[in-house]
Structure formats: structure tokens, C-alpha cells
Amino acid sequence: MSLFQLVYGKAYHLPIELERKALWALKNLNLNWKEAVEMRLGQLNEMDEFYLRAYERADLYKEKIKMYHDWKIEKRDFKRGDLVLLFNSRLKLFPGKLKSKWSGPFKVSQVHSSGVVEHENKDGSTFKVNGQWVKLYIGLEESVKSITIISLDQV
């Protein structure tokens, strides 16, 4: 039997002959099987350690990203009776240069532990909104305690 056989006009190797050639090459190199097995097991163990270190680094990365994300989230504590402004997300579609993106003020009627804030309209109807979509309203009534008017004629 020859090394090459013709199939559809092309030469190919039989697997038996390749196996014989591979064994012949190993015998010529005088390869020690025990050393080869130990070296391969060592490489596999190194690969496992590499995967474990990568997994630990990924966990550390995820923790750092979560801390950064949580640090960026504003903690908003609302109480019953607070006045708040509601972010109007519809204005993103048709932005007006000078148009305010906040509507309100609305009165807080209830705050849930999940972060949901229940608002009360001027007409008395209530609706619920995520607490991240509202911010405290500081009106003139709260910020200005007393107004003093000084006329220039008196000075």
C-alpha cells in the first residue's frame, strides 16, 4: 500500500500511516512520555489558575463599578407634605431651548419604601412616580423669610 492514494484525482494520507509517522517522529525525538504528561498537566493547572484569577478580577471590577454607580445616584428623601418637581420626559422628544423640563410643583402624599413617591395634584387626584424622577421644590415662600424694601430716596 502506498503513502498516497488517489481519490477523485487528489492524493490523501491514510490515518494509519499518519499515526505510524507520528510514532516514528516521537521515537526519533526520544521523547519521554512521563515528562510530556507532567508538562501538559502543569500547563492545564496554570490555565485553571489563570481562569480563577480572571474571574476574581472580574468580580472586583463589578464591585467597583457598582460602587461608582451607587455613588452617582442621588439619595432623595421626601416627606409627606413636601413640594416636588416632576421631570417631564416627553420634552426630550421636542426640546425647547428655554422650556423647563420640570413640571409642578406637586405635593407628596405618601413615600413608599421601594422609592416610589405618590403625588397629589391641585385638583386632589394622586399618581405614583419613581423617586429618581422628582426633586425637591424650593419656592419663594420657603427661601425668603422676610423682604426688606429700601427706597433710594431714603438713603
- Spans of all domains in the chain: 4-71, 83-143
The predicted structure's pLDDT at residue 24: 64
Distance of alpha carbon 86 from alpha carbon 106, whole angstroms: 8
Band of the pLDDT at 140, cuts 50, 70, 90? low
The predicted structure's pLDDT at residue 19: 53
Average the pLDDT over 148-155 and give the result.
72
pLDDT above 90 for 63: yes
From the list 102, 108, 100, 103, the residue with the least C-alpha distance to 83 is 108
Distance of alpha carbon 148 from alpha carbon 85, whole angstroms: 29
Full-model pTM: 0.44
pLDDT per residue over 68-101, tens digit each? 988 887 777 888 888 899 888 775 666 667 777 8
Contact 77, 51 (CB under 8 A): no
Contact 62, 70 (CB under 8 A): no
User: Computed over its alpha carbons, how large is the radius of gyration of the chain?
Assistant: 38
Alpha carbon distances (Å) from 85 to 4, 120, 148: 84, 12, 29
The predicted structure's pLDDT at residue 3: 46
CATH class of 83-143: mainly beta
The predicted structure's pLDDT at residue 120: 87
Who wins on pLDDT, 63 or 100?
63
